[in-house]
Chain A
Amino acid sequence: DAGVIQSPRHEVTEMGQEVTLRCKPISGHNSLFWYRQTMMRGLELLIYFNNNVPIDDSGMPEDRFSAKMPNASFSTLKIQPSEPRDSAVYFCASSLRGGVAGDTQYFGPGTRLTVL
């Protein structure tokens, strides 16, 4: 069974460039989550979707960040323009029954982003 798939696994870019991170959730899962992890702040929820609809984007740092989920099997997180402080590991996770307490979230391997 394929887990959550993320691409690219590593991204190095220069400040000001656009970065697009991609995620394919586990087939049949209804909810998708984007997280960011840094040493200083730990793992932070950026945005999550239920049935392809954004439910809570209060964790998105600023307007430079945007996320889309055009269908049940694909989501993107875009940073434009990127800044050095965006350097982090970005995880995508999915769950079967989003909105249900106790539902397990399964994480992808993450994208390690470095902005120079």
Chain B
Amino acid sequence: GQNIDQPTEMTATEGAIVQINCTYQTSGFNGLFWYQQHAGEAPTFLSYNVLDGLEEKGRFSSFLSRSKGYSYLLLKELQMKDSASYLCAVMDSNYQLIWGAGTKLIIKP
């Protein structure tokens, strides 16, 4: 079956760095997405990886290894506003999105 795994919850300190991992097993692969979702709001797009390697975008970076079925989202210089859920989603061979359950990130002062 198809499966996306990511930690349920993580805690980090303001100003620090945190890495949120995502492993996946899907029928085919057409890219991996990371989304941020604040409580009560719609998810917002963070990154898209389809090739192996690291994509950097400001304080956020996303890494992909297709051979390992693995991605991570790296958040640097954490701010209190980064407290949110982070969703990993993989697009399979049918261009259907397979979603992880999300990682709730708690930032402490």
- Are A and B interaction partners? no
Instruction: List residues of B whose CB falls within 8 A of some A CB.
Output: none
